[in-house]
Amino acid sequence: MKLYQQQELHIYNSISKTKEKFTPINEGAVGMYVCGPTVYSNVHLGNCRTFLAFDLVFRYLKHLGYKVRYVRNITDAGHLENDADSGEDRIAKKARIEMVEPMEIVQRYTVDFHTTMDQFNALSPSIEPTATGHIIEQIQIIKKILSEGYAYEVNGSVYFDVHKFNAAHDYGKLSGRNLEDMVANTRELEGQSDKKNPQDFALWKKAEPVHIMRWPSPWSDGFPGWHLECTAMSTKYLGKHFDIHGGGMDLKFPHHECEIAQSEASTGVNPVNYWMHANMLTLNGKKMAKSTGNNILPHELFTGENDILSKAFSATVTKFFMYQANYRSNLDFSNEALVASEKGFNRLMESYRMLPEINASTESNFDVSKWRQSCYDAMNDDFNSPILIAQLFEAAKAINSTKEGKTSLTQSDIEILQKTMHDFIFNVLGLEDTANIQSNDGNQLADAVNILIGLRNQARANKDFATSDLIRDQLQEAGIQLKDGKDGTTFSLN
């Protein structure tokens, strides 16, 4: 029996605004689409949080035994600066400023995105399609929407008729917006004169002479609207109706709302059963923004080359920090929070590594089976990673207590603990054991610290306590904690 047949997973569905029991369309298989990056700049930590949230979903579904087709796109055609129908293409603008081809910009930042995801130990999606690779599919969808009467062509551009669609459907059901209210609160803006209504959005835009990225179509040489690419790629690889669609909270409106409208207009089918949205990441209580300087890129975080944090933090500690909040919650990024997460992660890994050293007893004082199910209960409750981490610390507490001889565990329970902790720490959360430098490939740093421990021991033997304390204190400042015990001195990262 597969794990998914033993566990009842519930997902918060953004469209119903409730947690719902997850039942895939096809037994044992899951189709999931997540909106990927627009590759015109370095991926920022807010983006990373979204992609790591869905890496967790992907990993847990696989852990439960589902066959998962995870599709995450690359937006390489560029959407307009205001994410609407006017302005300059973000990729083309960057290319113009740097005097390079747009695809050079695309290549550079796609590589950056993949490198960053690898550093976070995120799994690659099953399929990673690009917008420019699916222009034909997008044109075909536009033709279908036109034939159904939900779009119109003006001066070489094609627009989706939101008002006509809303007469027979419910435009705004995902975001909870009412079209009448949108109309009442809308003022006519320059550049919208081709539209019947300000709420209409572009399916195809005729390219101005200066527009670099353009393709031939039945209406003009131009480019597809931003919303259309995800409808084309999700439909192609997952079908007209699939299980999960995810993305950042900022995409709920208009992007995902427009995706629903396009899909229903072209296929007559509700495209998605479960809509999932990851929340925002702030920095020191304020929105992350390059323009204000309240921003930090992943590589600046990992190297310590920034003016915001006191030190460098590893990708796995950063990931551990992010998972200490539910993906639907706001999360504030700060030096204090990262320091606390690093200490907590190191304590957890120290306890996990103690398991093979525990002497088994004939009875247990810790209900391992109940604890194991509590880990699943946490993840089954809308992928509640902070509760899962709290349960892992409960196991760490039991391990430490047993190691100190205060409680006991049977051999069978030790094995269940070890397998379950391994599954959730490494396979589900996707963390890496980098907390204790002694555990990595005979590290040169470990050798150097052991030399200093030897010098400290010699100083103590000579009653040179000033030197002994100096070595200890300076190692402490470097983030290395010495621990004196009956079996000698050991160390770990602080």
Residue 59 placed within a domain? yes
Residue 287 placed within a domain? no
Q: Crossing angle, helix 226-238 and helix 257-267, to 10 degrees?
A: 60
The first and second tokens of residue 297, run together, are: 């890129």
Q: What is the pLDDT of residues 309-327, one digit of tens each?
A: 999 999 999 999 999 999 9
Identify residue 293 by its one-letter amino acid code.
G
My answer on whether 477 and 388 are in the same domain is: no
User: Which sign, positive or negative, has the C-alpha torsion 286, 289, 294, 296?
Assistant: positive
Question: In angstroms, what CA-CA distances link 344 with 48, 128, 320, 408?
Answer: 21, 35, 9, 24
Residue 237 CA to residue 239 CA, distance in Å, equals: 6
My answer on whether 313 and 387 are in the same domain is: yes
Residue 13 placed within a domain? no
Q: Which CATH number fits the domain that encloses residue 424?
A: 1.10.730
My answer on whether 205 and 310 are in the same domain is: no
Residue 483 placed within a domain? yes
Residue 465 CA to residue 462 CA, distance in Å, equals: 8
My answer on whether 244 and 336 are in the same domain is: no
Examine the fold and report which residue of 247, 278, 309 is the final residue of a domain before the chain moves on.
278
My answer on whether 359 and 411 are in the same domain is: yes
Residue 6 placed within a domain? no
| Cis check: omega of the bond before 254, within 30 degrees of 0 | yes
The answer to whether the CB of 11 falls within 8 A of the CB of 42 is: no
Residue 468 CA to residue 465 CA, distance in Å, equals: 5
Residues of the chain with pLDDT under 50: 83, 189-191, 436-442
My answer on whether 347 and 482 are in the same domain is: no
- Parallel, antiparallel, or unpaired for β 272-278 and 242-248? parallel
DSSP track, 416-440 = HHHHHHHIIIIIIS-----S-GGGS
Strand partners, 222: 206, 215
| pLDDT number for residue 182 | 83
My answer on whether 33 and 125 are in the same domain is: yes
Examine the fold and report which residue of 278, 308, 342 is the final residue of a domain before the chain moves on.
278
My answer on whether 221 and 176 are in the same domain is: yes
Question: In angstroms, what CA-CA distances link 58 with 136, 242, 390?
Answer: 29, 15, 21
| pLDDT number for residue 438 | 42
Examine the fold and report which residue of 410, 428, 446 is the final residue of a domain before the chain moves on.
428
User: Which sign, positive or negative, has the C-alpha torsion 388, 393, 398, 403?
Assistant: positive
Q: What is the pLDDT of residues 55-104, one digit of tens each?
A: 999 999 999 999 999 999 999 986 665 545 566 788 888 888 899 999 99
| pLDDT number for residue 85 | 59
| pLDDT number for residue 291 | 62
Residue 119 CA to residue 16 CA, distance in Å, equals: 35
Residue 150 placed within a domain? yes
Give the residue numbers spanning the domain of 257: 23-278
Q: Is the pTM of this model over 0.85?
A: yes
Q: How many domains does the chain have?
A: 3
Residue 289 CA to residue 295 CA, distance in Å, equals: 5
The first and second tokens of residue 424, run together, are: 């959730």
My answer on whether 423 and 445 are in the same domain is: no
Residue 294 placed within a domain? no
Cβ-based neighbours of 365, under 8 Å, separated by 6 or more:
398, 407, 408, 409
Residue 324 placed within a domain? yes
My answer on whether 413 and 377 are in the same domain is: yes
My answer on whether 253 and 393 are in the same domain is: no
The first and second tokens of residue 179, run together, are: 């079209």
* Residue corresponding to tokens 């397998």: 419
My answer on whether 137 and 46 are in the same domain is: yes
Task: Please count the other Cβ atoms lying within 10 Å of the Cβ belonging to residue 3.
Answer: 13
Residue 61 CA to residue 68 CA, distance in Å, equals: 7
Q: Which CATH number fits the domain that encloses residue 102?
A: 3.40.50.620
Q: What is the pLDDT of residues 455-483, one digit of tens each?
A: 888 888 888 888 888 888 888 877 787 87
